[in-house]
Structure formats: structure tokens, C-alpha cells
């Protein structure tokens, strides 16, 4: 709301993604890309319309059921990493498993394997403050995949990285999603990253349009 006048961030958006498919979302700053991802993740609720996960309307779930479903279905990667500074790399990945209620010996083994796959075998005990930006984002990617989600939502995951590091992170993200058959929704300002996805969309004046 702005005063008494409601502001429509998104209008008539119709979007679906299938297992293993990738889509990019582009648009000017402030056009609603992050809001769109938050709706997909069930972090925000639409004022009208519906968000469905595997045919289930999120409005039908209470907060506990929504959080449980989100933990098993959706992984998120952000521009700013959002690692817990007091926790080491392995502990940051395992924190996501703890929150999802899946922490056990098998999960710890998977966390170590994920950190190995993202090239951080020797940094398991490192605090975020001792890691480079690219290394922090690699931890964040491992954290997002620890619960074996069916969809990964990535909000400008290379936005804080230099071009070379950003390219390597994007390669890693695409490879892991392909290997794990995880659907990817990527918000990016980079046209080359956008064009590498199966489908490319642009958000303009609240409307989402697929690009040819």
C-alpha cells in the first residue's frame, strides 16, 4: 500500500515449471522479480490468484505445513549468501537440514559430498569470514541442495561476484541442477545466463512475458 492506494507489483502472471526444467527471469530493478520468487517460495502470499506446488494450493496449508513442504520442495540461493557467520561451512549446510528436520548421519555424509562437488573439500571447517565471495556462494548452493529439493530459486546468485567467478558459479549451478534433475528459476540481469536456460521470461510493468 502507498497511503490509501494499493500498488500492484504483479498483474496476471501465469507461470509453471516442470521437473528438470530451467527458466530465467529478467527485468529492470524494482519490477518485482524478487517478489515473484518470494511468491513461488511461499514466503509471500498473493492478494489474488493462487500459487500451487504439485497441485496443492498454498492457501490451503497452515504455517507449519507450509514450512515443512517448503523444506522438502524448494531450495533458495540469494545474491548476498546469507550464511550464519558463527558457523563453519559444513555447519551452515547442515543448518538447513536441521531446519528441515532431516538431520542425521546420512545427511551429514551428503553435506560433505555436496561441499566436495562444489570444490570446498578443504574448507569444511572454515568460517564465512575466511572464504571468498565465490566460496561463500558455493556453500550457499550446497546448502540449497541438501534437502534434495525439486525446485531451486536463485535470485541474482552472481550479482556480488566478479565476471570470472560469476561464470564459474553459473556453470556449477547449471551442472548441479542438471545432475540432480532440479527445476531452476533464475533471476538475472545477465543476458548470456538468461539465454542458457530452457525458457526465458521478462517481467515488465508487472506482467511476465516469455521471450522467443
Write down the pLDDT at residue 12: 80
Residue at 74 is within a domain? yes
For residues 127 and 83, is the Cβ–Cβ distance under 8 A? no
Which pLDDT band, with edges at 50, 70 and 90, does 186 fall under? very high
**Does some domain include residue 112?**
yes
CA atoms in the 13 A half-sphere facing the CB of 8: 10
Query: 96 lies in a domain?
Result: yes
Spatial strand order of the sheet with 207-210 comes to: 74-78, 151-155, 183-187, 22-26, 199-204, 207-210
Give the count of alpha carbons within 13 A of 193, CB side only: 26
Question: Per the structure, how many domains does the chain have?
Answer: 1
What percent of the chain stands above pLDDT 70? 97
Q: Label residue 57 by pLDDT band (50, 70, 90).
A: very high
Asked whether residue 108 is assigned to any structural domain, the reply reads yes
Instruction: List the beta bridge partners of residue 57.
Output: 52
Asked whether the predicted pLDDT for residue 59 surpasses 60, the reply is: yes
Task: From residue 185, give the alpha-carbon distance in Å to each of 89, 100, 112.
Answer: 25, 21, 25
Contact 23, 199 (CB under 8 A): yes
Q: What is the CATH number of the domain that holds 123?
A: 3.40.50.300
Residue 178 covered by a domain: yes
pLDDT at 151 over 80: yes
Structural domain that includes position 160 = 22-210
Res. 27 pLDDT band, cuts 50 70 90: very high
- Per the domain annotation, does 180 fall within a domain? yes
Answer whether residue 26 is part of any domain. yes
pLDDT recorded at residue 72 = 87
Amino acid at each position: 500500500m502507498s497511503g490509501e492506494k494499493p500498488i500492484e507489483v504483479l498483474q496476471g502472471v501465469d507461470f509453471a515449471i516442470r521437473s528438470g526444467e530451467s527458466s530465467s527471469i529478467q527485468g529492470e530493478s524494482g519490477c518485482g522479480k524478487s517478489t515473484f520468487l518470494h511468491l513461488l517460495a511461499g514466503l509471500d502470499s498473493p492478494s489474488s490468484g493462487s500459487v500451487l506446488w504439485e497441485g496443492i494450493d498454498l492457501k490451503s496449508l497452515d504455517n507449519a505445513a507450509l514450512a515443512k513442504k517448503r523444506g522438502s520442495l524448494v531450495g533458495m540461493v540469494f545474491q548476498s549468501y546469507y550464511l550464519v557467520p558463527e558457523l563453519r561451512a559444513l555447519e551452515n549446510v547442515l543448518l538447513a537440514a536441521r531446519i528441515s528436520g532431516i538431520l542425521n548421519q546420512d545427511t551429514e555424509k551428503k553435506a560433505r559430498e555436496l561441499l566436495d562437488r562444489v570444490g570446498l573439500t578443504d574448507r569444511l571447517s572454515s568460517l564465512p569470514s575466511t572464504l571468498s565471495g565465490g566460496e561463500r556462494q558455493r556453500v550457499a548452493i550446497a546448502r540449497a541442495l541438501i534437502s534434495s529439493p525439486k525446485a531451486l530459486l536463485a535470485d541474482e546468485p552472481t550479482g556480488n561476484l566478479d565476471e570470472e567467478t560469476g561464470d564459474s558459479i553459473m556453470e556449477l549451478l547449471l551442472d548441479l541442477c542438471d545432475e540432480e534433475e532440479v527445476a531452476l528459476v533464475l533471476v538475472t540481469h545477465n543476458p548470456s545466463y538468461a539465454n542458457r536456460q530452457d525458457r526465458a521470461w521478462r517481467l515488465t510493468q508487472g506482467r511476465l512475458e516469455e521471450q522467443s
